[in-house]
Structure 1
Amino acid sequence: MISEEVIQKIKDLNDIVDIVSEKVKLKKAGHNYIGLCPFHNEKTPSFSVSQDKQIYKCFGCGESGNVITFIMKTKNLPFVEAVNFLAEKVNISVELNQGNDKKNYEQNNKLYKINVEAARYFFNNLNQDRKAKQYFLSRKITEATMRSFGLGYAKDDWNNLLHYMKNKGYTELDLINAGLIIQKNNTFYDRFRNRVIFPVFDYRGRVIGFGGRVLDDSKPKYLNSPETAVFKKGINLYGLNFSLKNNIDRFFIIVEGYMDCITLHQYGIKNAVASLGTALTKNQAKLLKRYADKIIISYDADSAGQTATLRGLKILKEVGFEVSIIKIPDGKDPDEFVKKNGREAFIELIKNALPVVDYRLNKAFEEVNLKDNESIIRYIRNVSEIIEELDPVEKDVYIKRISEKTGTSEQAIYDLLSEKVQKSGNQIQTMNKMDGYGQNLYVESAYIKSERALLKIMAQNRNMCEYIMARLKCEDLIIDSHKKIYNNIISVIEDQVANSENILKKIEIMCNEKESYSEWIKVISEDIIFSDGNEKKLIDDFIFNIKKFNLEESKKEIMKKIKILGEKGLFEETLELIKQSEELQNKLNNL
């Protein structure tokens, strides 16, 4: 069995648009992407992929699912092999040992609890220490913002946190695993001392680590938690959990530091996120791509910030973002600028953000000496690599601009450009072609939707589950995979798992073969609209649809047999079947 945590991480890092695009040629249509369905032949696209929800749905044949089911179906792989296939794409190791799996899951849960307790400790310290709180107040951070981001303080003491956490029942080993204490020569001491603390949350809002800044001139200025089982700097981004709540326009502003991110949020620029002291990674970019189409980079104006900007551009472009860069005047960082000039001034910078090509060309031109021919030649050769990536119209525009800046003829610049590498025919053939638009709607039978709806209600509501179980047995269900899911739900609920999210995850893990897993994804995607007091009435209607279908199918079978027996002259047998048919009709009438 593969752990819930690992499966979730694999789904988080494998963006469904990227995976589906390897098989299907997709086009953007509003917030979603559309293409020709890979599961049935069609001439107009009815296959929709939602990057927000990380699911696909075909309105022509009814197929739907997530990134795992897509791999299972398109590559004809069982569940475990599909998960392994996706794990390899994002360099995740999959452990199949059930004992280790359970142990790792429990250890990670303990780390989350330890981090929450430590965050509370740091937060309480801040409220009790005037000097620490004054640091934030002097930087114009309000008390409301301090609470919102859970800002804290680590006391100027070697083992204050250690003693606090031990009193809460945690061991030295627990705290080492969480990166909160350090061991040296059989002595244990706090990692963070005399530092203001920035709790780091993952995109779900769980505390996964901490950053600390000194209050004096000590080195290092910033200190982050080490990598742990739950804290991976190359996967997470600071502030993303806050930004996801407010990202209506589907774009993010990436800044360098904690304070840059916090200050922008305080000034109402709620879609700012920060990298965690490392260069932007592809995994971070993929995570952002789920929720946005555009990235604006606002790194510090110093040389280190500019270098980081250039490194991040390539990764963001590869993932498919529209990327722009803010150039903050007077060498200021976002934190300084917005405090001095206000929100509207920063919004104006966002509006005037430079497209990637302009930024790269301007950066390259900063090194040019127009009085030195060799310098001009080097510049044109360097920027020719940038120009090669553009379409013909863009090339004309930028070549003309470069020609005017350097006094070099446009033809000479064209002569330096190499031809773009054409895509191989084989690659194009792997994509299905899409010429027109339209949909052939697939309408599912009432009994299928009813079974899915009942299973979803059972998984999400313990009381309603018991109500359904008293009226609908496993054998009453029509679809075999639904019968397996029915039994899985009962099994998980009987284990008395309290957390509803955990129940859904455990059921998903138990659906470890193609059909049941695919159906489970459809079950949890089912839309059910309750109004006050109508839950049982709606459930009864769903059960009615299922029982009606069963009775009608049974009656159809009997009518076929009656026809066959009548043709053979077997009248006594026919009369018996007619009697059974009438009984079924009575049951239908009495439903």
Structure 2
Amino acid sequence: MAPRFPTSWVDQVYAASSIVDVVSNYVPLQKRGQRHWGLCPFHNEKTASFSVNADLNLYYCFGCKASGNIAQFVMEMEKFTYPEALLYLAKQFNVPPPPIMEDDPEAEQRRSLRERLYEASKEAAIFYHDQLWLPEHSEALEYLHNRGLDDAVIRRFGLGVSPNEWDSLLIHLQGKGFTIEELQQAALITVKENTRYDTFRDRVMFPIINRYGQTIGFGARAMGTAQPKYLNTSDSLIFNKRYNVYGINLLRKMRNLEQLYLVEGYLDVIALNQIGIGNAIATLGTALTPEQVRLIKNYAPEIWIAYDGDEAGQAATLRALDVLQQEGVKARVVRFPDGLDPDDFIHQHGAEGFRALKPFLGMAFRLMHLESQFDMGNDEHKREYARKACESLQVITEPVELDYYLGRIALKTGIAKEVLAQQMQQDHKNKSNSMYQAPIARRPRREAAAYPQSEFTLAALLATGKLPQNLVVATDFEDEHLRAIVEALLSGKTPAAIMEDAPDEEMRKMAGELFNRLPDLDKTETLTAAEDCLRIIRTSRLNDRIKQLSEELKTQEGSEKSLTLHLISELQSELEKQTQHQAH
């Protein structure tokens, strides 16, 4: 469960934070007028359309409509959760940590222990790395060099070696002040009855670093004949292999990635990085998990699976495609010839050879793999392949894409596309994920420009904080989105808080545009503009009401008609007052 912080502490973080300072770490900004401008970090552009409002701690892109407050910017750039973003800002701007929550009195103890385990793991990584350069560990360094790694990439990934001794790390970390219990909880040492010894011995060490740059565990490859060949840190308070991937720490500063390469091994990630392909990650000795997909899917719109070319790697690719599909992530597959893995392929064909590989769409790979299991010269096998292929196509929702694959299957089998489509309907007509179901209607999204202009301007004038109290009320706004924003402003919420509490993306974008179009007027000019907007709004409503009553009048008689005429007369008098006031 995500931590909950006191409102007073959250307000303190926002008050101490500067969005200009934060954004400047990622984007060069230039001040023009009341705002700072730069190239948008969320889409490619040549002309700066990204606006930062220092007074409101808000950002807004006039190109892609990305918008939010300072915490939301950090969440987008660093892939943080909201609590993580607040803690990050607190650290950056020297705000003391939040007090312990009343409903979680053990939170501080857990946080403190977690920090100690991070520190212990970091110190272990430094120890292993330093060991690698010692003469007595030349065999480990030679192994890495023989795998094609140069010293620069070895240092970049912090690779190391664990000595072939029982307690060298234990003694070193105890000398740093860590306790036996802390080292055991970090899974750096093993305790059995009365014995205590280093978990990793005589192995090449691969530090596993999370997306925040913290060392959380290790992958370890045996130098000798020890089994298993690869050994990972066991689950601990700071490490769980289902929730982490190797190499994610290097993605933090990468922007506008088109894809991520998903590989099987640590050395695959490092080999790709060495040839300039830094957007590669690897699972941690397990099949791809939904938790890992949720962790990585915001870094790029597509995942390119580049698993080993052997049969086991291809089977793992199919399982990964299933997980990515369930999580709604677009996937492609890079196939390596002759059963090679990415590392071996790069050694044989180099960077250009790797970049020349064309990825297959996920469904194309599925069908190709399925076809390899049948004798396509046998009519019975062709029919069975067609049935299985039609089952695979059930996940496709785009008619054009479906027609393309049905055409490919028809060419392979000689079975007409229409028959294949009937097969899909017959076998899966009751399944909710069938593409033949009517699509769910979605409410079209409105652009901010489609909102009533006078109401939009009046709300922006109110957000400046320069209008007297009670001049504007929520009932002045007929549009539900604008009324909700105005009600929040009138209740005392800041624009940054309104952005944070926006119930959906449409509301957030609309509020972002509103707060980034605040007029640059003094108090007198702001009041005059607001009064003009109110007259336009009220005049428009009076005219609409008069038209409505005039239509009703056509079917009325007697006293009812007289009452309506009286109402129309009063409304016309009010309309004349508004018009006369506007003329002055």
TM category (shorter chain) comes to 0.5 to 0.7
Candidates 243, 249, 265, aligned match of 1:235: 243
Note the residue ranges of structure 2 that are not aligned, 5 or more in a row. Answer: 6-41, 46-61, 74-79, 84-99, 467-488, 503-507, 513-519, 532-584
How is 1:4-83 mapped onto 2 (pairs within 5 angstroms)?
55=72
Candidates 395, 402, 407, aligned match of 1:395: 402
How is 1:433-452 mapped onto 2 (pairs within 5 angstroms)?
433-434=444-445, 438=449
How is 1:418-567 mapped onto 2 (pairs within 5 angstroms)?
418=425, 419=429, 421=432, 428=440, 431-434=442-445, 438=449, 518=501
1:347 is paired with a residue of what secondary structure? helix
Instruction: Quote the offset at 1:206 in angstroms.
Output: 1.1
Opposite residue 419 of structure 2, the aligned amino acid is: A
Instruction: Quote the offset at 1:322 in angstroms.
Output: 2.2
Q: Which residue of 2 aligns with 1:124?
A: 130
Candidates 215, 222, 225, aligned match of 1:214: 222
Q: Which residue of 2 aligns with 1:417?
A: 424
1:327 is paired with a residue of what secondary structure? coil
1:246 is paired with a residue of what secondary structure? coil
1:51 touches 1:291 (CA, 8 Å); kept in 2?
no
Opposite residue 376 of structure 1, the aligned amino acid is: K
Q: Which residue of 1 aligns with 2:540?
A: none
Candidates 349, 355, 366, aligned match of 2:361: 355
Separation in 2, partners of 1:404, 1:163: 68
Q: Which residue of 2 aligns with 1:330?
A: 338
Instruction: Quote the offset at 1:386 in angstroms.
Output: 1.9
1:54 touches 1:67 (CA, 8 Å); kept in 2?
no
Larger radius of gyration: 2
Separation in 2, partners of 1:46, 1:138: 49
2:334 touches 2:360 (CA, 8 Å); kept in 1?
yes
Instruction: Quote the offset at 1:313 in angstroms.
Output: 0.8
Cα RMSD (Å) of the superposition?
A: 4.3
Opposite residue 192 of structure 2, the aligned amino acid is: K
Moved more, 277-286 or 324-333: 277-286
Instruction: Quote the offset at 1:96 in angstroms.
Output: 6.5
Separation in 1, partners of 2:309, 2:108: 47
Deviations 1:324-375 (A, max 9, x none): 10001111100011122111111111xx100011100000000111344433
Opposite residue 241 of structure 1, the aligned amino acid is: N
Q: Which residue of 2 aligns with 1:464?
A: none
1:46 touches 1:438 (CA, 8 Å); kept in 2?
no
Note the residue ranges of structure 1 that are not aligned, 5 or more in a row. Answer: 6-28, 33-44, 57-65, 70-93, 452-476, 486-513, 527-541, 557-591
2:43 touches 2:256 (CA, 8 Å); kept in 1?
no
2:69 touches 2:499 (CA, 8 Å); kept in 1?
no
Separation in 1, partners of 2:2, 2:257: 36
Q: Which residue of 2 aligns with 1:380?
A: 386
Q: Does 1:114 align with 2:125?
A: no
2:338 is paired with a residue of what secondary structure? helix
Deviations 1:120-150 (A, max 9, x none): 1001111112111111111111111111101
Opposite residue 259 of structure 1, the aligned amino acid is: L
Q: Does 1:290 align with 2:298?
A: yes
Instruction: Quote the offset at 1:163 in angstroms.
Output: 0.8
Separation in 2, partners of 1:404, 1:427: 29
Candidates 222, 226, 233, aligned match of 1:225: 233
Opposite residue 226 of structure 1, the aligned amino acid is: S
Separation in 1, partners of 2:414, 2:254: 47
CA 1:101 to 1:269, structure 2 compared with 1: closer, same or farther past 3 Å? same
TM-score relative to the length of structure 1? 0.60
1:247 touches 1:271 (CA, 8 Å); kept in 2?
no
Q: Which residue of 1 aligns with 2:213?
A: 205
Separation in 2, partners of 1:402, 1:427: 25
CA 1:333 to 1:380, structure 2 compared with 1: closer, same or farther past 3 Å? same
Opposite residue 407 of structure 1, the aligned amino acid is: G
Opposite residue 324 of structure 1, the aligned amino acid is: R
Separation in 2, partners of 1:230, 1:260: 25
Instruction: Quote the offset at 1:105 in angstroms.
Output: 0.9
CA 1:479 to 1:336, structure 2 compared with 1: closer, same or farther past 3 Å? same
How is 1:73-152 mapped onto 2 (pairs within 5 angstroms)?
97-128=103-134, 129-152=137-160
Opposite residue 235 of structure 1, the aligned amino acid is: Y
2:241 is paired with a residue of what secondary structure? coil
Separation in 1, partners of 2:63, 2:256: 26
Moved more, 184-193 or 370-379: 370-379
Opposite residue 365 of structure 1, the aligned amino acid is: E
2:246 touches 2:281 (CA, 8 Å); kept in 1?
yes
Q: Which residue of 2 aligns with 1:155?
A: 163
Separation in 2, partners of 1:402, 1:116: 54
Candidates 247, 253, 256, aligned match of 2:261: 253
Separation in 1, partners of 2:186, 2:232: 12
Opposite residue 382 of structure 1, the aligned amino acid is: K
Instruction: Quote the offset at 1:306 in angstroms.
Output: 1.2
CA 1:53 to 1:481, structure 2 compared with 1: closer, same or farther past 3 Å? closer
Q: Which residue of 2 aligns with 1:194?
A: 202
Separation in 1, partners of 2:461, 2:372: 67
1:99 is paired with a residue of what secondary structure? coil
Instruction: Quote the offset at 1:288 in angstroms.
Output: 1.7
1:264 touches 1:335 (CA, 8 Å); kept in 2?
yes
Instruction: Quote the offset at 1:54 in angstroms.
Output: 8.6
Separation in 2, partners of 1:338, 1:53: 42
CA 1:448 to 1:407, structure 2 compared with 1: closer, same or farther past 3 Å? closer
Q: Does 1:366 align with 2:377?
A: no
Deviations 1:432-491 (A, max 9, x none): 33377856586776896799xxxxxxxxxxxxxxxxxxxxxxxxx998567xx9xxxxxx
1:2 touches 1:101 (CA, 8 Å); kept in 2?
no
1:3 touches 1:105 (CA, 8 Å); kept in 2?
no
Separation in 1, partners of 2:277, 2:138: 28
Separation in 2, partners of 1:304, 1:52: 46
TM-score relative to the length of structure 2? 0.61
Opposite residue 246 of structure 1, the aligned amino acid is: M
2:169 touches 2:198 (CA, 8 Å); kept in 1?
yes
1:364 is paired with a residue of what secondary structure? helix
1:203 is paired with a residue of what secondary structure? coil
Instruction: Quote the offset at 1:416 in angstroms.
Output: 1.4
1:255 touches 1:275 (CA, 8 Å); kept in 2?
yes
Instruction: Quote the offset at 1:425 in angstroms.
Output: 11
1:98 is paired with a residue of what secondary structure? coil
1:194 touches 1:214 (CA, 8 Å); kept in 2?
yes
Q: Does 1:407 align with 2:418?
A: no
Separation in 2, partners of 1:389, 1:370: 24
Instruction: Quote the offset at 1:261 in angstroms.
Output: 0.3
1:324 is paired with a residue of what secondary structure? strand
Instruction: For CA contacts below 8 A with separation 6 or more, give which structure has more relative contact order.
Output: 1
1:2 touches 1:96 (CA, 8 Å); kept in 2?
no
Separation in 1, partners of 2:68, 2:160: 35
Instruction: Quote the offset at 1:279 in angstroms.
Output: 1.4
Separation in 1, partners of 2:147, 2:114: 35
2:106 is paired with a residue of what secondary structure? helix
Separation in 1, partners of 2:4, 2:122: 21
Separation in 1, partners of 2:389, 2:292: 28
1:233 touches 1:278 (CA, 8 Å); kept in 2?
yes
2:248 touches 2:281 (CA, 8 Å); kept in 1?
yes
Q: Which residue of 1 aligns with 2:175?
A: 167
Opposite residue 100 of structure 1, the aligned amino acid is: E
Opposite residue 415 of structure 2, the aligned amino acid is: T
